[in-house]
Structure 1
Amino acid sequence: MTKPIRDRFDDVPRTSGRVGAHRAEAPGMNGWVVLLWSFVAALVLIIVGIFGSLVVMGRISLFPEAVPTATPTPVETGVVDTTYSVMILNATAEEGLDTQLRDDLINAGWPAETVYSTDSASQDFQTTTVYYIADEDELAAIGLANLIGGANVSQSEFYAGLNETDQKQLTVVIGQDRTAAGPQEPAETPAP
Protein backbone atom coordinates (compact mmCIF):
# COMPACT_ATOMS: atom_id res chain seq x y z
CA MET A 1 0.00 0.00 0.00
CA THR A 2 1.15 3.42 -0.75
CA LYS A 3 1.33 6.30 1.57
CA PRO A 4 -1.27 9.03 1.15
CA ILE A 5 -0.18 12.39 -0.01
CA ARG A 6 0.04 15.05 2.61
CA ASP A 7 -2.15 18.15 2.41
CA ARG A 8 -2.71 21.22 4.55
CA PHE A 9 -5.26 19.50 6.82
CA ASP A 10 -2.67 17.13 8.09
CA ASP A 11 -1.08 20.01 10.02
CA VAL A 12 -4.20 20.95 12.05
CA PRO A 13 -3.75 20.11 15.71
CA ARG A 14 -6.10 17.39 16.92
CA THR A 15 -6.91 18.89 20.36
CA SER A 16 -8.87 21.99 19.46
CA GLY A 17 -11.44 23.30 21.97
CA ARG A 18 -14.03 23.83 19.24
CA VAL A 19 -14.67 20.30 18.18
CA GLY A 20 -18.50 19.76 18.08
CA ALA A 21 -19.27 23.32 19.27
CA HIS A 22 -21.99 23.77 16.67
CA ARG A 23 -24.14 21.27 18.60
CA ALA A 24 -23.95 23.03 21.94
CA GLU A 25 -27.05 24.60 23.65
CA ALA A 26 -27.85 28.23 22.94
CA PRO A 27 -25.98 30.31 25.47
CA GLY A 28 -29.09 32.40 26.61
CA MET A 29 -31.54 29.52 27.19
CA ASN A 30 -31.82 28.21 30.70
CA GLY A 31 -34.31 26.02 32.51
CA TRP A 32 -36.49 28.85 33.96
CA VAL A 33 -37.18 30.43 30.60
CA VAL A 34 -38.24 27.09 29.13
CA LEU A 35 -40.50 26.48 32.13
CA LEU A 36 -42.07 29.93 31.79
CA TRP A 37 -42.79 29.46 28.06
CA SER A 38 -44.27 26.04 28.76
CA PHE A 39 -46.58 27.53 31.39
CA VAL A 40 -47.75 30.33 29.04
CA ALA A 41 -48.41 27.86 26.22
CA ALA A 42 -50.41 25.58 28.56
CA LEU A 43 -52.45 28.54 29.86
CA VAL A 44 -53.30 29.72 26.33
CA LEU A 45 -54.39 26.20 25.33
CA ILE A 46 -56.61 25.89 28.42
CA ILE A 47 -58.30 29.27 27.80
CA VAL A 48 -58.89 28.46 24.12
CA GLY A 49 -60.32 25.06 25.11
CA ILE A 50 -62.74 26.54 27.66
CA PHE A 51 -63.90 29.24 25.23
CA GLY A 52 -64.36 26.68 22.46
CA SER A 53 -66.40 24.45 24.78
CA LEU A 54 -68.70 27.32 25.76
CA VAL A 55 -69.26 28.21 22.11
CA VAL A 56 -70.05 24.58 21.21
CA MET A 57 -72.46 24.24 24.18
CA GLY A 58 -74.24 27.45 23.17
CA ARG A 59 -73.43 29.38 26.32
CA ILE A 60 -71.56 32.02 24.32
CA SER A 61 -72.72 33.29 20.97
CA LEU A 62 -70.06 34.68 18.69
CA PHE A 63 -72.56 36.62 16.60
CA PRO A 64 -75.60 37.39 18.79
CA GLU A 65 -78.83 38.30 17.07
CA ALA A 66 -80.03 41.83 17.56
CA VAL A 67 -82.90 41.92 20.03
CA PRO A 68 -85.61 44.29 18.87
CA THR A 69 -86.26 46.89 21.50
CA ALA A 70 -89.87 47.54 22.33
CA THR A 71 -90.75 51.16 21.98
CA PRO A 72 -92.66 52.24 25.05
CA THR A 73 -96.13 53.49 24.36
CA PRO A 74 -96.71 56.94 25.76
CA VAL A 75 -99.00 57.04 28.74
CA GLU A 76 -101.82 59.51 28.46
CA THR A 77 -101.75 61.81 31.47
CA GLY A 78 -105.08 63.43 30.74
CA VAL A 79 -106.29 66.96 31.28
CA VAL A 80 -108.38 68.29 34.13
CA ASP A 81 -111.20 70.09 32.31
CA THR A 82 -113.76 71.73 34.59
CA THR A 83 -116.07 72.59 31.67
CA TYR A 84 -117.47 69.04 31.79
CA SER A 85 -120.44 68.24 33.98
CA VAL A 86 -119.80 65.29 36.27
CA MET A 87 -122.39 62.74 37.39
CA ILE A 88 -121.29 60.76 40.46
CA LEU A 89 -123.04 57.46 41.21
CA ASN A 90 -122.42 55.63 44.48
CA ALA A 91 -122.60 51.93 43.56
CA THR A 92 -121.71 50.70 47.05
CA ALA A 93 -123.65 50.05 50.24
CA GLU A 94 -121.61 52.70 52.10
CA GLU A 95 -123.49 56.00 52.45
CA GLY A 96 -122.00 59.41 51.63
CA LEU A 97 -119.21 58.43 49.23
CA ASP A 98 -120.91 60.32 46.38
CA THR A 99 -121.28 63.50 48.46
CA GLN A 100 -117.68 63.30 49.63
CA LEU A 101 -116.41 62.94 46.04
CA ARG A 102 -118.67 65.79 44.90
CA ASP A 103 -117.14 68.07 47.56
CA ASP A 104 -113.64 67.05 46.43
CA LEU A 105 -114.43 67.98 42.82
CA ILE A 106 -115.94 71.33 43.83
CA ASN A 107 -112.79 72.07 45.88
CA ALA A 108 -110.70 71.15 42.79
CA GLY A 109 -112.42 73.88 40.74
CA TRP A 110 -115.61 72.40 39.31
CA PRO A 111 -118.64 74.70 39.54
CA ALA A 112 -121.12 73.31 42.09
CA GLU A 113 -124.00 73.43 39.60
CA THR A 114 -122.19 71.05 37.18
CA VAL A 115 -121.40 68.26 39.68
CA TYR A 116 -124.27 65.90 40.51
CA SER A 117 -124.23 63.02 42.97
CA THR A 118 -126.67 60.26 43.78
CA ASP A 119 -126.90 56.61 44.73
CA SER A 120 -126.83 53.98 42.03
CA ALA A 121 -129.38 51.19 41.64
CA SER A 122 -126.53 48.70 42.09
CA GLN A 123 -124.51 48.35 45.30
CA ASP A 124 -121.92 45.79 44.25
CA PHE A 125 -119.82 47.62 41.63
CA GLN A 126 -116.21 46.47 42.17
CA THR A 127 -113.86 49.12 40.72
CA THR A 128 -114.36 52.87 40.56
CA THR A 129 -114.61 53.86 36.89
CA VAL A 130 -114.86 57.14 34.98
CA TYR A 131 -117.06 56.76 31.87
CA TYR A 132 -116.88 59.06 28.87
CA ILE A 133 -119.03 59.12 25.72
CA ALA A 134 -117.06 60.45 22.72
CA ASP A 135 -113.43 59.79 21.74
CA GLU A 136 -112.51 63.44 22.26
CA ASP A 137 -113.61 63.16 25.92
CA GLU A 138 -110.98 60.52 26.78
CA LEU A 139 -108.25 62.93 27.95
CA ALA A 140 -110.72 64.71 30.24
CA ALA A 141 -111.81 61.34 31.67
CA ILE A 142 -108.18 60.34 32.31
CA GLY A 143 -107.55 63.70 33.99
CA LEU A 144 -110.60 63.24 36.22
CA ALA A 145 -109.57 59.65 37.07
CA ASN A 146 -106.10 60.86 38.09
CA LEU A 147 -107.59 63.73 40.09
CA ILE A 148 -109.79 61.46 42.22
CA GLY A 149 -106.84 59.24 43.10
CA GLY A 150 -106.80 56.73 40.30
CA ALA A 151 -109.74 55.00 38.69
CA ASN A 152 -110.43 52.96 35.59
CA VAL A 153 -111.43 54.83 32.46
CA SER A 154 -113.92 53.38 29.97
CA GLN A 155 -115.90 54.59 26.99
CA SER A 156 -119.64 53.90 27.15
CA GLU A 157 -122.87 55.55 26.00
CA PHE A 158 -124.85 53.88 28.79
CA TYR A 159 -124.84 57.06 30.91
CA ALA A 160 -125.43 59.48 28.00
CA GLY A 161 -129.13 59.87 28.86
CA LEU A 162 -128.42 61.18 32.38
CA ASN A 163 -127.43 64.59 31.06
CA GLU A 164 -130.37 66.86 30.28
CA THR A 165 -128.19 69.72 29.03
CA ASP A 166 -125.97 69.95 25.97
CA GLN A 167 -122.90 70.19 28.18
CA LYS A 168 -120.28 67.44 27.82
CA GLN A 169 -120.49 64.92 30.65
CA LEU A 170 -118.32 62.45 32.51
CA THR A 171 -119.80 59.84 34.83
CA VAL A 172 -117.99 58.48 37.88
CA VAL A 173 -119.30 55.21 39.29
CA ILE A 174 -117.87 54.65 42.77
CA GLY A 175 -116.99 51.03 43.42
CA GLN A 176 -116.17 48.78 46.36
CA ASP A 177 -112.49 49.75 46.10
CA ARG A 178 -113.40 53.15 47.66
CA THR A 179 -115.23 51.75 50.67
CA ALA A 180 -113.74 51.39 54.14
CA ALA A 181 -113.99 47.59 53.81
CA GLY A 182 -112.21 47.57 50.45
CA PRO A 183 -113.08 45.52 47.39
CA GLN A 184 -115.27 42.51 47.99
CA GLU A 185 -114.70 39.26 46.13
CA PRO A 186 -117.90 37.86 44.65
CA ALA A 187 -119.11 34.78 46.50
CA GLU A 188 -118.30 31.55 44.70
CA THR A 189 -121.20 29.29 43.92
CA PRO A 190 -120.63 25.75 45.17
CA ALA A 191 -120.09 23.09 42.54
CA PRO A 192 -123.07 20.71 42.08
Structure 2
Amino acid sequence: MASYPKDRFDDLPKDLVRVGAHRAPRKRGGGWVGFAWAALATLVLVVGGFYVVTLIDDSVRFEIPGFPQADETSSSPEDESTPTALPLTDPATIDPARAITITVLNGTPVVGQQTVVSDTLTAAGWPIGSATTASTSDIEETIVYYSNPADEDIARGLVSTLGVGDVKESTAFLGAPVTIVLGSDYTPAG
Protein backbone atom coordinates (compact mmCIF):
# COMPACT_ATOMS: atom_id res chain seq x y z
CA MET A 1 0.00 0.00 0.00
CA ALA A 2 1.27 3.42 -0.91
CA SER A 3 2.13 5.83 1.79
CA TYR A 4 2.03 9.56 1.41
CA PRO A 5 4.03 12.09 3.35
CA LYS A 6 2.12 13.96 6.05
CA ASP A 7 1.29 17.60 5.54
CA ARG A 8 -0.36 20.36 7.59
CA PHE A 9 -3.92 19.18 6.68
CA ASP A 10 -3.40 15.83 8.37
CA ASP A 11 -3.05 17.38 11.82
CA LEU A 12 -6.45 18.67 12.95
CA PRO A 13 -7.25 20.06 16.36
CA LYS A 14 -9.15 17.65 18.62
CA ASP A 15 -11.87 20.17 19.61
CA LEU A 16 -13.04 20.73 16.02
CA VAL A 17 -16.35 18.85 15.53
CA ARG A 18 -16.71 19.62 11.83
CA VAL A 19 -16.65 16.91 9.25
CA GLY A 20 -15.33 18.10 5.94
CA ALA A 21 -14.15 21.58 5.05
CA HIS A 22 -17.59 23.07 4.30
CA ARG A 23 -19.70 21.90 7.20
CA ALA A 24 -20.43 24.00 10.20
CA PRO A 25 -22.26 22.97 13.35
CA ARG A 26 -26.07 22.92 12.86
CA LYS A 27 -27.95 25.82 14.31
CA ARG A 28 -30.56 25.04 16.90
CA GLY A 29 -34.09 25.19 15.36
CA GLY A 30 -32.75 25.51 11.81
CA GLY A 31 -35.10 22.81 10.49
CA TRP A 32 -38.20 24.77 11.52
CA VAL A 33 -37.09 27.82 9.57
CA GLY A 34 -36.80 25.74 6.39
CA PHE A 35 -40.18 24.15 7.04
CA ALA A 36 -41.80 27.58 7.61
CA TRP A 37 -40.42 28.90 4.30
CA ALA A 38 -41.65 25.80 2.45
CA ALA A 39 -45.14 26.10 4.02
CA LEU A 40 -45.32 29.80 3.11
CA ALA A 41 -44.27 29.10 -0.50
CA THR A 42 -46.88 26.32 -0.77
CA LEU A 43 -49.62 28.59 0.59
CA VAL A 44 -48.72 31.38 -1.85
CA LEU A 45 -48.74 28.95 -4.81
CA VAL A 46 -52.10 27.40 -3.83
CA VAL A 47 -53.85 30.74 -3.26
CA GLY A 48 -52.34 32.14 -6.47
CA GLY A 49 -53.51 29.07 -8.38
CA PHE A 50 -57.08 29.42 -7.08
CA TYR A 51 -57.06 33.10 -8.05
CA VAL A 52 -55.85 32.36 -11.59
CA VAL A 53 -58.50 29.62 -12.04
CA THR A 54 -61.27 32.05 -11.04
CA LEU A 55 -59.95 34.58 -13.56
CA ILE A 56 -59.85 32.02 -16.37
CA ASP A 57 -63.22 30.33 -15.82
CA ASP A 58 -66.23 32.33 -14.59
CA SER A 59 -68.12 29.18 -13.63
CA VAL A 60 -65.56 28.31 -10.93
CA ARG A 61 -66.24 30.04 -7.61
CA PHE A 62 -64.50 29.66 -4.28
CA GLU A 63 -66.69 30.77 -1.42
CA ILE A 64 -65.42 31.60 2.04
CA PRO A 65 -68.08 31.00 4.70
CA GLY A 66 -69.16 34.21 6.41
CA PHE A 67 -67.96 36.52 3.63
CA PRO A 68 -70.47 37.80 1.06
CA GLN A 69 -69.52 37.17 -2.55
CA ALA A 70 -69.26 40.14 -4.93
CA ASP A 71 -72.03 38.92 -7.21
CA GLU A 72 -74.38 38.22 -4.28
CA THR A 73 -74.42 41.85 -3.20
CA SER A 74 -74.83 43.34 -6.68
CA SER A 75 -77.67 41.25 -8.13
CA SER A 76 -81.18 40.59 -7.00
CA PRO A 77 -83.51 37.66 -7.77
CA GLU A 78 -85.76 39.97 -9.80
CA ASP A 79 -82.92 40.60 -12.29
CA GLU A 80 -82.52 36.90 -13.06
CA SER A 81 -86.20 36.19 -13.76
CA THR A 82 -86.83 38.92 -16.33
CA PRO A 83 -85.81 38.02 -19.86
CA THR A 84 -83.54 40.57 -21.48
CA ALA A 85 -84.24 39.53 -25.08
CA LEU A 86 -87.33 38.61 -27.02
CA PRO A 87 -87.27 35.15 -28.62
CA LEU A 88 -86.24 35.06 -32.26
CA THR A 89 -88.66 32.49 -33.64
CA ASP A 90 -87.96 32.88 -37.36
CA PRO A 91 -84.46 31.56 -38.19
CA ALA A 92 -84.64 33.22 -41.62
CA THR A 93 -84.24 36.61 -39.91
CA ILE A 94 -80.85 35.74 -38.38
CA ASP A 95 -78.18 38.06 -39.75
CA PRO A 96 -75.54 35.92 -41.58
CA ALA A 97 -72.83 38.19 -40.16
CA ARG A 98 -73.54 36.73 -36.71
CA ALA A 99 -72.15 33.37 -37.93
CA ILE A 100 -74.46 31.37 -35.68
CA THR A 101 -74.02 27.61 -35.44
CA ILE A 102 -76.01 25.46 -33.07
CA THR A 103 -74.71 22.32 -31.39
CA VAL A 104 -77.17 19.70 -30.14
CA LEU A 105 -76.04 17.43 -27.27
CA ASN A 106 -78.10 14.46 -26.14
CA GLY A 107 -78.07 14.22 -22.34
CA THR A 108 -80.79 11.55 -22.23
CA PRO A 109 -80.59 7.75 -22.31
CA VAL A 110 -82.65 7.76 -25.56
CA VAL A 111 -80.22 6.83 -28.34
CA GLY A 112 -80.35 9.12 -31.38
CA GLN A 113 -82.41 11.86 -29.74
CA GLN A 114 -79.85 14.47 -30.87
CA THR A 115 -80.32 13.44 -34.53
CA VAL A 116 -84.10 13.75 -34.31
CA VAL A 117 -83.84 17.24 -32.80
CA SER A 118 -81.11 18.25 -35.25
CA ASP A 119 -83.17 17.14 -38.26
CA THR A 120 -86.28 18.89 -36.92
CA LEU A 121 -84.43 22.16 -36.34
CA THR A 122 -82.64 21.97 -39.72
CA ALA A 123 -86.00 21.48 -41.45
CA ALA A 124 -87.27 24.57 -39.61
CA GLY A 125 -84.30 26.58 -40.95
CA TRP A 126 -82.04 26.73 -37.87
CA PRO A 127 -78.26 26.59 -38.63
CA ILE A 128 -77.21 23.31 -36.96
CA GLY A 129 -73.45 22.75 -36.77
CA SER A 130 -73.22 19.34 -35.11
CA ALA A 131 -75.23 16.84 -33.09
CA THR A 132 -73.73 14.29 -30.71
CA THR A 133 -74.17 12.70 -27.31
CA ALA A 134 -73.34 14.60 -24.13
CA SER A 135 -70.75 13.34 -21.66
CA THR A 136 -73.53 12.08 -19.41
CA SER A 137 -76.97 10.63 -20.08
CA ASP A 138 -78.75 11.57 -16.85
CA ILE A 139 -79.56 15.23 -17.49
CA GLU A 140 -83.09 16.05 -16.36
CA GLU A 141 -83.71 19.58 -17.69
CA THR A 142 -83.22 20.77 -21.27
CA ILE A 143 -81.02 23.89 -21.33
CA VAL A 144 -80.03 26.12 -24.26
CA TYR A 145 -76.65 27.70 -23.52
CA TYR A 146 -75.37 30.82 -25.26
CA SER A 147 -71.90 32.32 -24.86
CA ASN A 148 -72.56 35.83 -26.18
CA PRO A 149 -75.33 37.94 -24.57
CA ALA A 150 -76.30 39.11 -28.07
CA ASP A 151 -77.35 35.51 -28.87
CA GLU A 152 -79.91 35.27 -26.07
CA ASP A 153 -82.71 35.97 -28.55
CA ILE A 154 -81.73 32.90 -30.59
CA ALA A 155 -81.51 30.74 -27.45
CA ARG A 156 -84.99 31.86 -26.38
CA GLY A 157 -86.30 31.19 -29.89
CA LEU A 158 -84.92 27.64 -29.75
CA VAL A 159 -86.64 27.05 -26.39
CA SER A 160 -89.85 28.27 -27.98
CA THR A 161 -89.35 25.97 -30.98
CA LEU A 162 -88.54 22.95 -28.78
CA GLY A 163 -91.44 23.69 -26.45
CA VAL A 164 -89.37 22.92 -23.35
CA GLY A 165 -86.27 24.11 -21.54
CA ASP A 166 -84.57 27.18 -20.22
CA VAL A 167 -81.71 29.44 -21.36
CA LYS A 168 -78.42 30.15 -19.61
CA GLU A 169 -75.40 32.23 -20.49
CA SER A 170 -72.24 30.15 -20.21
CA THR A 171 -68.73 29.91 -21.65
CA ALA A 172 -68.61 26.16 -21.03
CA PHE A 173 -69.33 25.35 -24.70
CA LEU A 174 -66.84 27.35 -26.74
CA GLY A 175 -67.28 25.26 -29.91
CA ALA A 176 -70.56 26.92 -30.89
CA PRO A 177 -72.27 30.18 -29.97
CA VAL A 178 -75.45 28.29 -29.02
CA THR A 179 -75.57 24.77 -27.53
CA ILE A 180 -78.70 22.75 -26.77
CA VAL A 181 -78.31 20.10 -24.07
CA LEU A 182 -81.33 17.81 -24.20
CA GLY A 183 -82.69 16.59 -20.89
CA SER A 184 -85.20 13.91 -20.01
CA ASP A 185 -87.95 16.56 -19.93
CA TYR A 186 -87.80 16.78 -23.75
CA THR A 187 -90.29 14.67 -25.68
CA PRO A 188 -90.28 14.85 -29.47
CA ALA A 189 -93.42 16.24 -31.09
CA GLY A 190 -95.28 13.74 -33.15
TM-score interval (norm. to shorter): 0.3 to 0.5
TM-score norm. by structure 2 comes to: 0.48
